[in-house]
Amino acid sequence: MSEVFDHEKLKVYQRALDFVEFTDALLSTFPKSMAVCDQLDRASTSIPLNIAGGDGKFTSKDRCRFFDIARGSALECATALDVLVRKGKSEETTGTEGKEILREVVSMLVGLIRSQKTDRVYEDQGDYGSGD
């Protein structure tokens, strides 16, 4: 598909669409009646929608608000993948694959947010490793 709008040129937008594609393939293996599946479908769709919405805003505050929502949706998706693994509905390797895409998306969104606002307070990035 050709890039017509500015947001389509953003790597974070393209990676968010990669996650939507990943999610769609994953969800096709589950019954539609599972609540976590509906939540994962909606949250994964929210990521690129909010990236596009934020990229179209003129003020830094408005842009950041949309990028924050996209980031929250990405974290929600990561949690939904954890739930599927814990419920025994998905393999851990599948969850890890999806979370790797989400880690990239979240990192890029944080970069976009930081580039917009110099007066925001930030925590040091946590270590979300194996818990050693």
**Which domain range does residue 81 map to?**
8-116
Q: Establish if 128 belongs to a structural domain.
A: no
Structural contact between residues 114 and 84, judged by C-beta atoms closer than 8 angstroms? no
Q: Establish if 38 belongs to a structural domain.
A: yes
Reported as half-sphere exposure (CB side, CA atoms, 13 A), residue 71 has a value of 16
Q: Establish if 132 belongs to a structural domain.
A: no
The number of folded domains in the chain is: 1
Higher pLDDT, 2 or 96: 96
Length reported for the chain: 132
What are the pLDDT digits (tens) for 31-68?
888 999 999 999 999 999 999 999 999 999 999 999 99
Q: Which CATH number fits the domain that encloses residue 53?
A: 1.20.1440.60
Smallest CA-to-CA distance from 45 within 27, 70, 62 is with 70
Q: Establish if 131 belongs to a structural domain.
A: no
Q: Establish if 124 belongs to a structural domain.
A: no
C-alpha–C-alpha distance, residues 116 and 30, integer Å: 39
Q: Establish if 121 belongs to a structural domain.
A: no
Instruction: State residue 116's pLDDT score.
Output: 85
Q: pTM for the complete prediction?
A: 0.86
The percent of the chain in helix, strand and coil, each rounded to the nearest 5, is 70, 0, 30
What are the pLDDT digits (tens) for 83-111?
999 999 999 999 999 999 999 999 999 99
